[in-house]
A and B are shown apart, each in its own frame.
Chain A
Amino acid sequence: MADAKVIPFDDDRSRAGTAPRPSRRRSAGSGRRKGESAVIREVQPLPGRARPQDDVQVTRKQQPPQEPQESQGGPGAQVPSSDPAGGGAGGLERRIAGGLSFLRRRLTGDYEVDDFGFDAELTDQVLMSLVRPLYEKYFRVEVKGIENIPAEGGALIVANHSGTLPLDGVMMQVAVHDNHPGARHLRLLAADLVFMLPMINELARKAGHTLACAEDAERLLERGELVGVMPEGFKGIGKPFSDRYKLQRFGRGGFVSTALRQGAPIIPCSIVGAEEIYPMIGNAKTLARVLGIPYFPITPTFPWLGPLGAVPLPTKWTIQFGEPIRTDGYPPEAAEDPMLMFNLTDQVREQIQHTLYKLLVQRRSVFF
């Protein structure tokens, strides 16, 4: 939070003209938030020193007490794989009963999916549980600024994209779901390649992802969903290792006009750690063209060690959600104004880039 204030972009903001900056005025938030922004302001001249205070914010210290609560809060519905040694015999039995009723519902087709094919039950109980070990134990994801995500209503989370395989999107989804008090589901917008591949498209739809197009994004925001987008696309995820943490072009900024049309706040999100999971030192372009994929990564391990090379490096991740940029103060025709579009896109991009730099300065090592 408030990181954009560390490196001022006054020049940018004045250009945005009518852009309301309500987040600065909005002191109606919790006292804790006030306290934090005070801390940040104090730290302003030296961003490098901000880390100790920042870390206290959300992160793992708060996470453990929250986790058991969650798994017991659902009345026995949690799948056993999350924490088998959890309760006593009664808890266990309840859990087994829950697992069986879940199994029964699944086998008889007695569950619901939404128009996009999102299967909330499956995502909560199976898919999330499968990914969670990777999230907690392998990448040890640290989440900051979760309070920037609204408790309800539509919002557009815009994040950087990296790591050769889109693990960052999946981790972001788990991060939002596990840390947000409302356990909100992030609906990611994915490339059309995802929906062409067998198995992948099925899983993506069931996990709540949909195609990155204005129609779907608007429909989701209209329904008050939390939508995640990575505007760099393949340029970001398939960039060489030497370009790590350099944000690529943000497409045509279509996400800004979508957010403007729905009046949904834009929440910039910076992900550190994903760049190093598969250091891409080369790109076999011919092979990629033959296979019909945008790039074919060559990492120090990948084609050489076979499937073993597909194991990501155990980097330490940080996901920081920035201060929301509100879009509801603009007139309806603002979505057609290309200048405003570019300004807002730049504002989001700069905010993500500078948070990235800040997090990188704070990072002790890639792996710890």
Chain B
Amino acid sequence: MGKVVLVTGVARQLGGRFVRRIQRDPQVDRVIAVDAVPPEHHLGGADFIQADIRQPTIARVLAETNADTVVHLDVTGVALGSGSRVTVKETNVIGTMQLLGACQKSPAVKRLVVKSSTTVYGSAPRDPAVFSETTSPKSLPSGGFAKDAVEVEGYVRGFARRRPDVAVAVLRFANILGPTADSPLAHYFAMPVLPTVFGYDPRLQFVHEDDVIEVLRIASNEPERGTLNSGTFNIAGDGVLLLSQCSRRLGRPTVPLLLPAVTWAGSLVRTLGMTDFSPEQIRLLTHGRVVATNQMRETLGYRPKFTTAETFEDFARVRGPGLLPPEAVARAVDRIAALPFAPFAGGGAARAMTTTTVTATVTKAAEAT
């Protein structure tokens, strides 16, 4: 007898992709896709059940379908379509509570996978440079999605204590990027000019959508020999990109603003309801966040196919170049290189000297940005 997998949050791109992917797994018999709104994308051969996980009906769905694996993907930062922040928070927190309550009552459930985020670590100047799964944050997130994620993880820990027979995996994903990602950070990078915080160059880490799907699949299946897929894992691509690097690779100019101005502008934009430029987002873009992924490699036994830089490249490829495409910049530099230096090989040391100093100055000026 194969597995019956119940997936929440399938109206989103990520949930839809995951549902389509696990149907191809031989050990999966049936996939039940749950969300409050019908998805716009197709779900393959999965059974879609329209149910709001904030309501107790989810318990009935779980009991009727006899699902043995629950993959909870409905923990997200942004609303789908025209939802308010309150709805998102309710879905995240109350929805998780209802779902966990339903799981607790269902004897069939053997495995629970919860999508969380590295935002649970917060980001502050007093934090260590690299977070491991056991690092406790110096300052807990005060609100927004980060706080939801912390609360969700708290409930999941409680559930794991009450139902020790269920294998629970909490996956803390770094910023998810990729061709179809619709995370707040993807919206940020889509702006023609990137506002940054003056005097800070945060370290960012990305994880590719494909890797997210693959990790979710590993976590929802039986563990491979020599690996363990229950516990808490940081999931991120190798390496780190600085925000300045990201903007240069995207070819989008940055506008450094003072931190109070950014905070003020962020709250203004939020009030107007244009984008979710939340305080935690600003903190991420101020201090950055990097997590250690040893547990993912050694315990979960997964090696991401995309590094942080490759993920970003894939994202940039789809988004198209910005106002200052890197190729154009490189060509401009090459033209400067081709122009004045050929003639003076014989003499004109003074001219050479001035060019040299100019180059040095330009280099340093470039560094200042």
Contacts and interface: CB of A to CB of B under 8 A. Distances in A.
Nearest to B290: A115
B240 A113 contact: yes
Nearest to A210: B129
Interface residues of B, number: 54
Interface in A205-253: 205-206, 210-211, 213, 215-216, 219
A105 to B, nearest CB: 9
Contact of B125 (A97, A117, A196): A196
A113 B245 CA distance: 10
Contacts of A197: 199
B180 interface: no
Interface in B42-77: none
Contacts of B132: 215
A192 interface: yes
A80 interface: yes
Interface string A88-131: 01001101110110111011111111111101001000100010
Given A107-B329, A109-B245, A115-B130, A198 B363 contact: no
Contacts of A109: 244-249, 326
B183 to A, nearest CB: 21
A95 B367 contact: no
A308 interface: no
Contact of A215 (B135, B240, B249, B357): B135
Interface residues of A, number: 48
A365 interface: no
B126 A192 contact: yes
Given A107-B366, A199-B199, A84 B356 contact: yes
B333 interface: yes
A79 interface: yes
B129 A117 contact: yes
A95 B359 CA distance: 11
A102 B366 CA distance: 11
Nearest to A219: B130
Nearest to A95: B356
A206 B346 CA distance: 39
A96 B245 contact: no
B264 interface: no
B330 interface: yes
Contacts of A115: 129-130, 203, 239-240, 290
A112 B345 CA distance: 33
Contact of B199 (A104, A122, A201): A201
Grouping DSSP codes into helix (H, G, I), strand (E, B) and loop, the A interface class, with mixed when no group exceeds half, is: helix
A230 B88 CA distance: 47
B200 to A, nearest CB: 6
A357 interface: no
Contacts of B246: 109
A237 B282 CA distance: 33
Given A100-B337, A107-B366, A108-B330, A80 B240 contact: no
A195 B326 contact: no
Contacts of A108: 248-249, 326, 329-330
A336 to B, nearest CB: 17
B362 interface: yes
B129 A103 contact: no
A114 B240 contact: yes
Interface string B154-168: 000000000000000
B341 A96 contact: yes
A81 interface: yes
A205 B243 CA distance: 13
A107 B345 CA distance: 27
A104 B200 CA distance: 22
A215 B359 contact: no
Contact of A107 (B239, B287, B333, B356): B333
A130 B361 CA distance: 12
Nearest to B366: A106
A102 B330 CA distance: 11
A99 B345 contact: no
A328 interface: no
Given A80-B356, A100-B336, A201-B200, A106 B126 contact: no
B360 A79 contact: yes
Nearest to B131: A215
B240 A89 contact: no
A323 B290 CA distance: 35
A116 B202 CA distance: 10
B242 interface: yes
Interface string B225-263: 000000000000001111011111100000000010000
A201 B125 contact: yes
Interface string A131-164: 0000000000000000000000000000000000
Interface string B343-368: 01111010011011101101110110
Given A95-B356, A96-B355, A109-B248, A79 B363 contact: yes
A236 B346 CA distance: 56
A202 interface: yes
A99 to B, nearest CB: 4
Contact of A99 (B203, B248, B359): B359
A89 B200 CA distance: 40
Given A96-B356, A115-B290, A126 B363 contact: yes
Interface string A9-36: 0000000000000000000000000000
B182 interface: no
B199 A198 contact: yes
B201 interface: yes
A196 B363 CA distance: 26
Nearest to A79: B360
Given A92-B356, A103-B363, A113-B242, 16 more contacts: A79-B360, A84-B357, A96-B352, A99-B356, A100-B337, A103-B359, A104-B333, A110-B249, A113-B241, A117-B129, A126-B363, A130-B364, A198-B200, A200-B199, A215-B135, A216-B128
14 contacts: A79-B363, A81-B360, A89-B346, A96-B356, A104-B333, A107-B248, A108-B249, A109-B248, A115-B129, A116-B130, A117-B242, A130-B364, A200-B199, A215-B128
Nearest 4 interchain pairs by C-beta:
A198-B199, A109-B248, A195-B125, A108-B326
